[in-house]
A and B are shown apart, each in its own frame.
Chain A
Amino acid sequence: MNTLSLALRNLLRNLLRNRRRSLATLLAMVIGLCAILLFGGYAGSTIYAMQTGYVQLHGHLQIQRKDYFLYGSGNPADYAIADYVPMLGQVRSDPVLAPLLTVATPKLQLGGIAGNFAAGVSTNVFSSGVVAPEQAQLREWDDYGNMSYAPPIALLNTPANSIVIGTGVARKLQLCQALGVRPCQPPGKPSAASGVSAPDDILALSAQETQAAPNAPQTHIEMLAATVHGAPNVVGLNVVKAENFGFKEFDDSYTIMHLTQAQRLVYGAGAPQVTAIQIQLQHTAQMSEAKARLEQMLETGKPDSPLEIVDYETLAPIYGQTIEFFQSVFGFIATLIGVIVLFTVGNTMSMAVVERTPEIGTLRAIGLRQGGIRRLFVCEGLVLGVAGAVLGSVLALLLATLINHSGLTWTPPGYVYAYPLKVRVWGAWAMVAGSAAGLVMVAGLSAWWPARRAARLLIVDALRHT
């Protein structure tokens, strides 16, 4: 212990011989590590926020008809699950799955045309029919703490003919003023129709729905969709809220209505079906266990099975692509900073070797082996690395705390509203430890070459050095 403390003291004394140079080297390492950790924390935070968003939207897993994801999203007739009610019951009561679940809920995805025929406008939309209270529960998932930016679902506790539309849809349907969507331009004079008018039967259906609600509010729209038999069907709906759905493309075409209403639109009086059962788990780490159990339960592994289990990463490929993007940028930054540290520490050690050449000669003359000289300089590099790692980590943690409490916001690419700017360094201990260890290793490595050169100096040449 005494020997170790003496060795450390001597290492520090040697490093403090040229304080300015050692400080500059230390600063390069501290700033470098801090930059790596803050970027890693920012990337981690963004990835967790994205995961939270996707899990709130899709759940962790979905039971779908086989190939629905690739081929059936516009075809609820051929790719729906008919016997979904008993299947839901089976999932909710399964002794393995039940403790893992937060929500299991049905969903019907359909495409159609939403029209504000009073204003003479319509737009293509895709819509989800959902069970509102269960969707509200889905949006409460926030496993990583303070990563949820989802507003509560506006469809909750509303009448059956209610619909929530994207703010982009509201603008297209000239409902933005009535729904208080900002920014909103007042509707201009409709241009004279230049295309072919809608078929008579469609117009008749629309008129029928409008007549059915003679005192309809300003927010009334009609939704037109094809039934499973291929016939057109129209329902009148009341927009209860225009909600910002994040991505511009999504916000311009997405709507949510009650499941019963969506089923009425697609299946009419026929047996109601759904296109997916969304399953949300308490923790993402439980996904493989839950998936294995579902596959066993629903026998999805068999070639003739009509069902498949799809996870949220498959449903939202951009999630995996974003992780890969962040990983590549992180790797690039880490490599860049590693090279800077390598050269900075290497230069510092090389200068130290030159300045201490007579001392190296003396040490060798009085009996220190070549290995002892190598150890001396490598240890100095390592001590610099450890100091840089500790100070860099502490600085990154402090800056992360400051940033997280600063109230800064940013708008991710493709999004239409700002997210709080957060960097997740606290808690990301594997990243902190890995980056710090990497820095120490690079510092040790960069000291190794000058140390080797010092050890191989001829004693007489070293002693003669002035």
Chain B
Amino acid sequence: MVSNYRIQGATGEWEVVIGLEVHAQITSHSKLFSGASTEFGQEPNCNVSLVDAAMPGMLPVVNGECLRQAVRTGLALNAQINRWSRFDRKNYFYADLPQGYQISQLFHPIVGEGEIEVSLDEKDPEGTVKTIGIERIHVEQDAGKLMHDQHPTMSYVDLNRCGVALMEIVSRPDMASPAEAGAYVRKLRSILRYVGSCDGNMEQGSMRADVNVSVRKPGDELGTRTETKNVNSIRFIQQVVETEARRQVDLIEDGGTVVQETRLFDPDKGETRSMRSKEDAHDYRYFPDPDLLPIELSEEFVAEAKASLPELPDAKRHRYENELGLSAYNAAVLTAEAETARWFEGLAAESAKKQGKPEADVAKAAANWLISDLFGGLNKLGVDLDSSPISAAQGAELLALVADGTLSGPLAKQVFEIMLETGDDPEKIVEEKGLKQTSDTGAIEAVIADILAANSDKVEEYRGGKDKLFGFFVGQTMKAMQGKANPKVVNELLRKALG
């Protein structure tokens, strides 16, 4: 896939080159190097140990779960797992960094090269695949938080986040449009959530990206890049690419040069600006952290991490298509998020059980109902799947009632609306509201007889060749039956009665 995204400059077309460094908070109870909690939203400086506050003589001890999650993530990205890695100190002074250095991994990261396949169009998931290279994943500490607006002359320091484990997932500069950057982050987030190594919650800051952008004339060498720090939504990432690429093109075309620097994104103004550049910003004096020994992962450790991986989105999508017979689009929609797939699989399993059929026979109807009915309904309610008032078992029950002819399509819609509103079981609704469809031929025949008797003129016209009137009789019959008659039976009996 070659991107055709171009920026129109005064001197012609420009390409944009994008690389992303995604910081993903590793899901863990305690911090990377201390036993303090990682819980979000606590009182300031309460989730802080003496180690996090860098008290004299305090030492880091690594949380094995954080390493395991990084390894699982690497395996999910088909990346090389480095059985020997180690932590380095990245030295700089800032009030959110008590040690005066961040413990990170520069020289020997725990995960090496991997890749992600990204679909650029959900409607055509196979036709628009682009492979984005992963350069590395390393594990490091998060910093604390500075608050600037609480005091006229002071900034306040909260160390609750300080020392929380992050994975920095570094891509190759393989993206060439805002859409590709967005699709990459979406796919990466999806994989992390499948793996369970990061909750992907960008609003709470569990995932944020440093956006590296440069521009060049098609075919030219790479241009000088800028790095816009800590961008915390997919929309903003795309905005950064657009505005930063535009700014660079304008700058170059006006005779200027792009400076390699770190920038900040201002979401209110929708633009990036240079961070007050410090002359020594790039002299981090990395060296191996002598407080920590090299990390040597056993073969079993890696094998266990691998065995613990769930089915990943691409594999799942293929299985839905090939084994369950779903359309490519439906399979893509249902597998995009782990939560959706989990819900769908619950629904399909319950459906199969209730209807006594193989999953492959019920999956299509389940997928259609989930994507068009339930998603539509939840959308109107403004809630996510995980707070759906209808459970997968209830959905399966509804589908079973349709399949066994208890409910007609229109009746099922009616029941669904009530379920959405009340969360009640479909059977209960059918029972209480008397919405059961009837195939009782005697009752239907009696109604038909009455209708034909009351509309003898129309019966004549129909028999005289005005076929269109058949619909009129169906409508009258259904109305008289309060919509509960099995339409197939009605059709049959009407045809018989009308001769």
- Whether chains A and B associate is no
